[in-house]
C-alpha cells in the first residue's frame, strides 16, 4: 500500500482516480492546485504523485521543477496524467528530462493506469539532473504551446461534432413542426369550410322554418318561436367560435404574406390589450419560404403574448425590414425590461420555443432588456432571393 497524491483541477478526475487507486488499497490524497499540492507534499511525503499538466495558476512542469528543487521532495516519482499532446514524442522527452517517470493519457483503460502505478512504485527514481533555467524555459514554452494547440484542436473537433449533433436533433424537430403546421392548416380549413358551412346551413334552415311558420299564420305552441330564435343565435355564436378556432390554428391571412399577417395580428393585439402599437413593415412578397414565414409569425405571436403577460408596457414598436440578404423582425416595448436571469431561465418555454423556431428557419434570435426601459426581440432570417419576384400590377 502506498500514499498517492492526485493533483488535478477537475474534481471528477480526482474522484475517478481515488476510486480506482483504492482498489489496490492505496491511500489517496488530492489537491486541486499546485500550491495545495506542494503543501500536502511537505506534510505527507507521498510515495507517488499523479498530476495533470495544465491547471489554473501553474502547470505540471513547473510543479515538477519545484519538487526537484526541494531536497526533501526531489525523490518523489511523478506521473503525468493528461490529454493527448500535439507533439507527443517531444512532450514525453521533455517530461522525462524534468524527472517525470511516466506520461499517461486520460483515455487510458483503468487496468493500464493501475499497472503503470505499480510499475512506477516498484522502481526507484534515479537522480535527475536539474535543467538549466534557459533550457527549461525553452522546452517548457514549447511543450505548453503544443499542449494548448492540442486543446484548441480538441475543442474545435468537439464543437464541430456538437454542431453535427445539433443539426441531427433539429432535423426531426423541424419535420415535426412542419407536420404540425400542415396539420393545423388542414384542421383550420376543415373547420372553416366544412363545419362552418354546415352551421351556416343550420342557421338558414332555422330562419326559413321560423319565417314560413309566421307567414302561414299558424299559432305556434308556447316557446317554439323562442326556441327557433335561440337556435339561430346558438348557430351564430358557434360559427364565430369556429372561425376564431380556425384563425388561431392558422390565420388564412398568412397566405397573403407575412406583412399582412403581422398587421392583422397587431390589430387583434391592440383591440384586446388597448396598448398602442406602431408598425413599419416592408413588403415580403416572394422573398420567404412559406415555412419560414410561418415560423416568424409564430415567434411574433409569442412575443406579443409575452408583452401582454409580463412587460407592463404602454407602447409597442414593430418593424420588419430588409438588411442586405436578410429579413429582420424587431419588436420593442417600453415595459419593465426582461432580466438576464429571465433570459437564461431553462423553464422559460416560450423563449425556448422562439429560439427553436428561429433555428429551424435558419436565422438568428436575440432578446435583451433594460430595467424600466423595455425589451427588444430581434429575429434575423435569410431571404430566399432565388424565388424573389415582383407582384403583378
Give tens-digit pLDDT for 188-219: 666 656 666 777 777 777 777 777 776 666 66
Q: Is the pLDDT of residue 50 over 90?
A: yes
CATH number (1.10.10.10, 3.30.390.50, 3.40.50.2300, 3.60.70.12) of 3-131 reads 3.40.50.2300
Confidence of residue 94 (pLDDT cuts 50, 70, 90): low
Q: For residue range 315-356, list pLDDT tens digits in order.
A: 999 999 998 889 999 999 999 999 998 988 888 878 888 888
Q: Is the pLDDT of residue 169 over 90?
A: no
Q: Is the pLDDT of residue 134 over 80?
A: no
Select the more confidently predicted residue: 140 or 344.
344
Domain 253-387 has CATH 3.30.540.10: no
Most confident of 59-68, 71-80, 221-230, 307-316: 307-316
Percentage with pLDDT > 70 across the chain:
72
Confidence of residue 129 (pLDDT cuts 50, 70, 90): very low
Question: Can you tell me the mean pLDDT for 94-111?
Answer: 80
Q: Is the pLDDT of residue 73 over 50?
A: yes
Which residue ranges make up each domain of the chain? 3-131, 173-249, 253-387
Confidence of residue 392 (pLDDT cuts 50, 70, 90): very low
| Packing angle, helices 133-190 and 349-360, rounded to 10 | 90
Neighbours of 316 (CB within 10 A): 25
**What is the 3-class SS of the chain, one letter each residue?**
CCEEEEECCCHHHHHHHHHHHHCCCCEEEEECCHHHHHHHHHHHCCCEEEECCEECCEEHHHHHHHHHHCCCCCCCCEEEEECCCCCHHHHHHHHHHCCCCEEEECCCCHHHHHHHHHHHHHCCCCCCCCCCHHHHHHHHHHHHHHHHHHHHHHHHHHHHHHHHHHHHHHHHHHHHHHHHHHHHHHHHHHHHHHHHHHHHHHHHHHHHHHHHHHHCCCCCCCCHHHHHHHHHHHHHHHHHHHHHHHHHHCCHHHHHCHHHHHHHHHHHHHHHHCCCEEEEECCCCCCCCHHHHHHHHHHHHHHHHHHHHHHCCCCEEEEEEEECCEEEEEEEECCCCCCHHHHHCCCCHHHHHHHHHHHHCCCEEEEEEECCCEEEEEEEEECCHHHCCCCCC
Residue 82 has a pLDDT of 80
Report pTM. Answer: 0.47
Residue 189 has a pLDDT of 63
Lowest mean pLDDT among 12-26, 106-120, 242-256: 242-256
Amino acid at each position: 500500500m502506498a500514499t498517492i497524491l492526485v493533483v488535478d483541477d477537475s474534481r471528477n478526475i480526482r474522484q475517478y482516480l481515488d476510486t480506482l487507486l483504492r482498489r489496490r488499497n492505496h491511500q489517496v490524497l488530492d489537491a486541486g492546485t499546485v500550491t495545495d499540492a506542494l503543501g500536502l507534499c511537505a506534510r505527507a511525503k507521498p510515495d507517488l504523485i499523479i498530476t495533470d499538466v495544465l491547471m489554473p495558476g501553474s502547470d505540471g512542469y513547473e510543479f515538477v521543477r519545484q519538487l526537484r528543487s526541494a531536497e526533501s521532495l526531489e525523490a518523489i516519482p511523478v506521473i503525468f496524467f493528461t490529454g493527448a499532446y500535439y507533439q507527443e514524442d517531444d512532450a514525453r522527452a521533455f517530461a522525462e528530462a524534468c524527472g517525470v517517470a511516466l506520461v499517461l493519457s486520460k483515455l487510458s483503460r483503468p487496468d493500464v493506469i493501475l499497472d503503470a502505478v505499480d510499475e512506477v512504485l516498484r522502481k526507484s527514481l534515479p537522480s535527475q539532473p536539474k535543467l538549466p533555467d534557459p533550457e527549461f524555459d525553452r522546452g517548457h514554452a514549447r511543450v505548453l504551446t503544443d499542449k494548448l494547440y492540442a486543446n484548441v484542436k480538441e475543442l474545435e473537433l468537439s464543437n464541430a461534432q456538437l454542431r453535427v449533433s445539433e443539426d441531427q436533433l433539429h432535423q426531426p424537430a423541424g419535420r415535426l413542426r412542419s407536420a404540425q403546421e400542415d396539420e393545423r392548416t388542414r384542421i383550420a380549413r376543415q373547420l372553416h369550410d366544412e363545419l362552418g358551412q354546415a352551421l351556416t346551413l343550420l342557421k338558414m334552415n332555422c330562419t326559413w322554418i321560423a319565417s314560413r311558420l309566421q307567414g302561414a299564420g299558424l299559432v305556434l305552441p308556447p316557446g317554439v318561436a323562442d326556441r327557433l330564435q335561440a337556435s339561430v343565435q346558438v348557430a351564430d355564436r358557434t360559427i364565430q367560435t369556429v372561425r376564431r378556432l380556425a384563425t388561431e390554428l392558422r390565420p388564412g391571412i398568412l397566405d397573403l404574406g407575412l406583412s399582412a399577417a403581422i398587421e392583422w395580428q397587431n390589430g387583434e393585439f391592440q383591440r384586446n390589450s388597448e396598448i398602442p402599437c406602431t408598425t413599419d413593415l416592408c413588403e415580403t412578397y416572394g422573398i420567404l419560404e412559406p415555412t419560414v414565414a410561418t415560423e416568424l409569425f409564430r415567434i411574433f405571436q409569442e412575443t406579443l403574448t409575452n408583452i401582454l403577460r409580463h412587460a407592463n408596457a404602454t407602447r409597442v414598436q414593430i418593424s420588419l425590414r430588409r438588411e442586405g440578404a436578410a429579413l429582420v423582425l424587431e419588436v420593442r416595448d417600453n415595459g419593465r425590461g426582461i432580466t438576464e436571469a429571465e433570459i437564461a431561465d431553462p423553464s422559460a418555454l416560450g423563449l425556448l420555443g422562439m429560439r427553436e423556431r428561429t433555428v429551424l428557419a435558419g436565422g438568428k434570435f436575440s432578446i435583451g432588456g433594460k430595467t424600466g426601459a423595455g425589451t427588444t426581440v430581434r429575429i434575423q432570417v435569410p431571404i430566399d432571393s432565388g424565388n424573389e419576384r415582383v407582384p403583378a400590377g
